[in-house]
Chains A and B, each alone.
Chain A
Amino acid sequence: MIEVQHLTKQYGAFTAVEDVSFTVERGEILGFLGPNGAGKTTTMRMVTGYMPPSRGRAIVAGYDIFEQPIEAKKRIGYLPETPPLYPDMTVRDYLTFVAKIRGVPRAERRSRVDTMMARTHVADMAGRHCGKLSKGYRQRVGLAQALLHDPDVLVLDEPTAGLDPKQIIETRQLIRELAGNHSVILSTHILPEVSQTCQRVVIINHGHVVAVDTPANLTARLRGSETIYVLVDGGGADVASALTAVPGVTSVAVTGTDAGALACEVASHTGHDVRRDLAAAIVGAGWGLLEMRPMRMSLEDIFLHLTTEDSAEQPQIPEEHAVHG
């Protein structure tokens, strides 16, 4: 549905986005993740035809956005970072205007505007001027605007920014519902949003794609090794050496004490479940096993890992999960 190939955008000597490639299938939600200034908005602006790329191309619903902009744009709904509202227009007038320029047939305009206002929960503000809306309403009118013409492709730049928690949940729910027959690109810097809404994630930093994968795979692949947290009571200094002796364990780090019990992080090879042996070793030695849980790398850790300046700390991404293209 969306095919982005080697997109590059240069402003003079500054390269905002370099060689970004990804694809989005029909019905898929792609999360676009990156710190502020990473090139998310620039990429989205190129995909939606707001600005032409310096190099590379974007194909939306089978039409090259640069070669056949009108056909491609008919199939895109776009919510920019700032909802593009006219402050002097009422919500209904505004949506009717957008329906007109997006080519919704005259006979359907009214009903589509009504439907979208209901779906995005802005119907109670239909007669209010856009300039007088709260941030949450502005954001949702912006979303309604992007959905009016029932586009194949939805490009949403931080759609939940400025919403309260209830509205965030409703909006995410709406986006998930839409994914059925639309393809969605959703940019965000809110990490839980990605794991809750998106099937695949593109992480971008300094204009480069650093990872493309499902949230679950990213978590698994980037861990490299499994780490298990154990809390052992009554072992004293012997615990560390006893745990190191368990087959499969690569290292043991004592991270502190908790009411006399010793807290350890036990690292082991991936795919080698050492929990059973660890438990046996601890209990066998007559100590108390108070707590044991796997330490998963959260998306947050991965994100920080991938986007921090120190590239030496960047985990190597297996080739098949790196960018295709």
Chain B
Amino acid sequence: MGNVIAIAQKELKGYFASPIAYVVIGFFALMFGYFYYALLVFFQQQSMQAGGFGGPEALDVNQQLIRPVFLNASVIVLFVLPMVTMRTYAEEKRSGTIELLLTAPLTDVQIILGKFFGAMALYAAMLAVTVVHVAVLFLFGNPEWRPVVTGYLGLLLMGGCFVATGLLISSLTKNQIVAGMVTFAVFLMLWVINWVASFQGPTAQAVLNYLSVTEHLDDFTRGILDTKHLVYYLSFITFGLYLTVRAVDTERWKG
């Protein structure tokens, strides 16, 4: 456990010692702020109009504003996380520091978990920036807090799937750009895979809908904590990390 923490700390320090953390968090904050503003003014206009017919009518802040904000955030995450995960393994392999990790008394699982939690910590820091925006809504409005908490949980779990996938892809190449591009393509595919679902037969439709990473996020943003989604996300993460362990081991045998 100590080793996992040591690696995670090293990863996190690495993000903040290089421009990566600042660029990624900055970009995320900028995009999130823009989407938040756009949705807020739209919400404002809608509630004005609703108020116009027979007295003021408060709209549901959670459903009409916070939920779309979370769903939009998941799109930004899709663009940002490949930049976080693409260097995790590729950079270590290119610079030779992988020799240090693989010859230290560490297991592959410890190294991979360390890298996973390091990237997740950066992702959590990124999400923490958005707490400010949500806090403003609590200050001036009266939203439910539970859907906000489940929404964040959903975003964290979805990000976990992306990070696990990103780690796997980064462990397969020495080239950061290749790792980043392939990771992005896979994320995008996981996002849109159910768009064609309605044109398929019932079985294929169910499978495609189930595979889509964002489909499972929807219930979280509504404030629904469904075990089927938890199982989906957690098994996705575990499987991704397991494949990374196998990939690193295979790489080792190939030399």
Binding site for B on A (CB under 8 A): 9, 11, 16, 42, 45, 48-52, 69-71, 73-74, 76, 78, 80-89, 93, 97-98, 100-103, 129, 145
A154 nearest CB across to chain B (Å) = 12
Asked if B96 CB lies within 8 Å of chain A CBs, one says yes
| Complex alpha-carbon distance, A145 and B252, angstroms | 22
A98 touches B255 (CB 8 A): no
- B: interface residue count bin: 20 to 34
What residues of A have a CB within 8 angstroms of the CB of B6 in the complex?
97, 100-101
| Complex alpha-carbon distance, A9 and B255, angstroms | 9
In the complex formed, the residue of A with least CB distance to B110 is A101
B10 touches A97 (CB 8 A): yes
What residues of A have a CB within 8 angstroms of the CB of B17 in the complex?
88-89, 129
A101 touches B105 (CB 8 A): yes
B100 touches A98 (CB 8 A): yes
Which of A9, A50, A81, A87 is the one whose CB lies under 8 Å from B102?
A50
* With contact pairs A50-B99, A84-B99 given, residues A89 and B14 touching in the complex (Cβ less than 8 Å): yes
* With contact pairs A88-B17, A89-B13, A101-B3 given, residues A52 and B96 touching in the complex (Cβ less than 8 Å): no
Task: Knowing that A73-B103, A73-B104 touch, tell me 4 more A-B residue pairs with CB under 8 angstroms.
Answer: A50-B252, A85-B97, A89-B13, A101-B7
| Complex alpha-carbon distance, A15 and B103, angstroms | 23
Which of B13, B100, B254 is the one whose CB lies under 8 Å from A84?
B100
What residues of A have a CB within 8 angstroms of the CB of B97 in the complex?
84-86
| Complex alpha-carbon distance, A48 and B99, angstroms | 9
A192 nearest CB across to chain B (Å) = 27
Q: Number of contacts between A and B (CB, 8 Å)? A: 83
* With contact pairs A84-B97, A97-B6 given, residues A49 and B14 touching in the complex (Cβ less than 8 Å): no
B105 touches A103 (CB 8 A): yes
| Complex alpha-carbon distance, A73 and B99, angstroms | 12
Asked if B253 CB lies within 8 Å of chain A CBs, one says yes
B103 touches A52 (CB 8 A): no
Q: Is the interface of B mostly helix, strand, loop or mixed?
A: helix
B104 touches A51 (CB 8 A): no
| Complex alpha-carbon distance, A42 and B99, angstroms | 12
A80 touches B99 (CB 8 A): yes
Which of A48, A81, A88 gathers most chain B CB within 10 Å? A88
What residues of B have a CB within 8 angstroms of the CB of A89 in the complex?
10, 13-14, 17
A52 touches B105 (CB 8 A): no
B130 nearest CB across to chain A (Å) = 27
A74 touches B103 (CB 8 A): no
What residues of A have a CB within 8 angstroms of the CB of B227 in the complex?
none
Q: Mark B221-244, 1 if CB is under 8 A from A, else 0.
A: 000000000000000000000000
16 A-B pairs (CB sep. < 8 Å): A11-B255, A50-B102, A69-B105, A70-B105, A78-B99, A80-B99, A86-B95, A87-B95, A88-B13, A89-B14, A97-B6, A97-B10, A101-B3, A101-B6, A101-B106, A103-B105
Asked if B49 CB lies within 8 Å of chain A CBs, one says no
What residues of B have a CB within 8 angstroms of the CB of A74 in the complex?
105
* With contact pairs A85-B97, A102-B105, A145-B100 given, residues A52 and B252 touching in the complex (Cβ less than 8 Å): yes
| Complex alpha-carbon distance, A76 and B18, angstroms | 31
| Complex alpha-carbon distance, A103 and B17, angstroms | 24
Asked if B54 CB lies within 8 Å of chain A CBs, one says no
In the complex formed, the residue of B with least CB distance to A76 is B103
Closest 8 CB pairs of A and B: A84-B100, A88-B17, A73-B105, A100-B6, A82-B96, A84-B97, A80-B99, A74-B105
What residues of B have a CB within 8 angstroms of the CB of A11 in the complex?
254-255
Asked if B107 CB lies within 8 Å of chain A CBs, one says yes
What residues of B have a CB within 8 angstroms of the CB of A51 in the complex?
252-253, 255
| Complex alpha-carbon distance, A16 and B9, angstroms | 37
Which of B2, B95, B101, B107 is the one whose CB lies under 8 Å from A100?
B2
A50 touches B7 (CB 8 A): no
What residues of B have a CB within 8 angstroms of the CB of A129 in the complex?
17
| Complex alpha-carbon distance, A76 and B254, angstroms | 23
What residues of A have a CB within 8 angstroms of the CB of B9 in the complex?
97
What residues of A have a CB within 8 angstroms of the CB of B95 in the complex?
82, 84-87
* Interface members, chain B 89-126 (any A CB < 8 Å): 95-107
A48 touches B13 (CB 8 A): no
In the complex formed, the residue of B with least CB distance to A88 is B17
| Complex alpha-carbon distance, A102 and B3, angstroms | 9
* Interface members, chain B 68-100 (any A CB < 8 Å): 95-100
Which of A71, A103, A145 gathers most chain B CB within 10 Å? A103
| Complex alpha-carbon distance, A85 and B103, angstroms | 14
What residues of A have a CB within 8 angstroms of the CB of B98 in the complex?
84
| Complex alpha-carbon distance, A82 and B17, angstroms | 22
Which of A42, A48, A84 is the one whose CB lies under 8 Å from B96?
A84
| Complex alpha-carbon distance, A36 and B17, angstroms | 36
| Complex alpha-carbon distance, A217 and B253, angstroms | 38
| Complex alpha-carbon distance, A98 and B106, angstroms | 11
In the complex formed, the residue of A with least CB distance to B14 is A88
| Complex alpha-carbon distance, A73 and B104, angstroms | 6
| Complex alpha-carbon distance, A112 and B213, angstroms | 47
